[in-house]
Amino acid sequence: MAQIIPVQVFDAVVFGATGDLTLRKLMPSLYSRFRDGQMPRESRVIAAARTETTTDAYRAKVMQGLHDHIAASDFDEAIATQFCACVQYTMLDGVTGEGWEGLVKLLAAEPERIRVFYLATAPDLYGPICRNLDANHLVTAASRVVLEKPIGHDLASARAINDEVGHIFEESQIYRIDHFLGKETVQNLMALRFANAIFERLWNADVIDHVQITVAETVGVEGRAGYYDKAGALRDMVQNHLLQLLCLLAMEPPVSLDPDAVRDEKLKVLRGLRPISVHEIATHTVRGQYVHGVSEGKPVPGYASELGHASQTETFVALKAEVRAWRWAGVPFYLRTGKRLPQKVSEVVVQFRAVPLSIFPPGASELEANKLVIRLQPDEGMLLKLMSKDPGPGGLRLRPARLDISFQKAFNTRYPEAYERLLMDAVRGNPTLFMRRDEVEAAWQWIEPIIHAWADATEAPRPYAAGSWGPTAAIALIERDGRTWHEDWGEED
């Protein structure tokens, strides 16, 4: 059983408190930490938004959100009531500065507490909110500000946001959140590589053929159409989630787990990504957009139909990336993400090289190269595919076998959601799992030429049927290198 270490008493001020992220993720995460005793009961959650409502009415919305988004086995009505008593609501306008008197009064009651300002708003509000925090003298030495992704829509806007927020907060107080980094299995990448000599000594181009990173969703854009049509899959998923996974896979061992030591190594990976030139866009990138099809057994409309108009926004991206480092020379990283795909799955596949020479007779079966599959969701775990002798008499026959670890079964415990861990890390002042400014900007520097090349191209995103694994061009992207996408966690062969 993992030891629960309580954090210090804190005030969490959530801007955008009536939004989907707050009610679906943040409040349930804080409730879970409250229930497990990690969030002290004297702590407060101060919800701030422009909506005119009362604290009692807002608490009722929070309670309903807990009912809707927490598993029945994890929900306790009495504890939920106690948690809601920690929640207070204040109406204010983050841009104009109107109505801030209520927040000032609430925070003045506990001036020495840790303050976590969580900006669950559109990125263009980050600067104005931070300026109003400063104007009302609410930023203390014990304050942190948490910024949701995306940080901007390109390099220039990311720099502008970082400049605005950085004018008010020190870099050590800024926590740029990527919830993928809070997932248990993502953190296990560090343990897998740096706590096991058997893997780290094999983690190089001599032994690894290629790496695949897939983040697939079965849903469409749902209620995020307005945001998504301006962003697209490249900005929404690749620039942050997938590149952060690539960093953890490709980084060199840090000298320690000191936050900046870890982030320094990730930054080296981002700066070591070989730029994709205009002439390579056709062979190294694929963008697609789903059309009508069948998803989870039901007919679903295409992206343009959901929007109500035609669009050039991509809902699918596949990329071939290369890291300019001796460790990874000649090892491609294939990245893939999309909506309306057949399975909701996030996984990393490390494909090892085949044995150089088979000593087994022709009838023993064809040798398959070893493969390590790291499942981030939905069933967190790891699978190692090996060749093994088929049991029984009658000669030597080989077949693939699997070493399969489900974290849920292996450790028989509930894993905290990513936001639970990251929120508590922000309270503790531990930025290891958050992105530093130079990381964000280095990621945009690599992504931006692709954005520009796609914008200049006359070709529209390639259509793919909802419920499929994307455009056929994505298959060609990897198969022209003699490789194949991994698409079945439950495969038996």
How many CB atoms neighbour CB 123 within 10 A?
18
Instruction: Mark whether 241 is an active-site residue.
Output: yes
Half-sphere exposure of 398 (CA within 13 A, CB side): 17
Question: What's the N-to-C CA distance of the chain in angstroms?
Answer: 35
Question: For the residues of 99-162, what is the DSSP string, one character each?
Answer: TTHHHHHHHHTSTTSEEEEEE-S-GGGHHHHHHHHHHTT---TTEEEEEESP--SSHHHHHHHH
From the list 211, 276, 234, 250, the residue with the least C-alpha distance to 446 is 276
Active-site residue identified among 153, 241, 284, 292: 241
Residue with tokens 């980084």: 251
Q: Quick check: helix, strand or coil at residue 70?
A: coil
Q: How far apart are CA 57 and CA 67, in angstroms?
A: 16
From the list 421, 434, 417, 419, the residue with the least C-alpha distance to 173 is 434
Per-residue confidence of the chain (493 residues) as pLDDT tens digits?
456 889 999 999 999 999 989 999 999 999 999 999 999 999 999 999 999 999 999 999 999 999 999 989 899 999 999 999 999 999 999 999 899 999 999 999 999 999 999 999 989 999 999 999 999 999 999 999 999 988 989 999 999 999 999 999 999 999 999 888 888 778 888 888 888 888 888 999 999 999 999 999 999 887 677 778 888 999 999 999 999 999 999 999 999 988 899 999 999 999 999 999 999 999 999 999 999 999 888 999 999 998 888 999 999 999 999 999 999 999 999 999 999 999 999 999 999 998 887 777 776 667 788 999 988 888 778 888 887 877 766 667 777 778 877 766 666 666 678 899 999 999 999 999 999 999 999 999 999 999 999 998 888 899 999 999 999 999 999 999 999 998 765 544 3
406, 413 in Cβ contact below 8 A? no
Residue with tokens 């399969």: 404
Q: How far apart are CA 276 and CA 398, in angstroms?
A: 41
335, 246 in Cβ contact below 8 A? yes
Output the CA angle 27-31-32, nearest 5 degrees. 120
Q: How far apart are CA 355 and CA 13, in angstroms?
A: 56
- Sign of the four-CA dihedral 67, 70, 71, 75: negative
How many CB atoms neighbour CB 288 within 10 A?
26
CB neighbour class for 434 (10 Å; exposed up to 12, middle 13-18, buried from 19): buried
Q: Read off the pTM.
A: 0.90
431, 182 in Cβ contact below 8 A? no
CB neighbour class for 335 (10 Å; exposed up to 12, middle 13-18, buried from 19): buried
Q: How far apart are CA 474 and CA 284, in angstroms?
A: 10
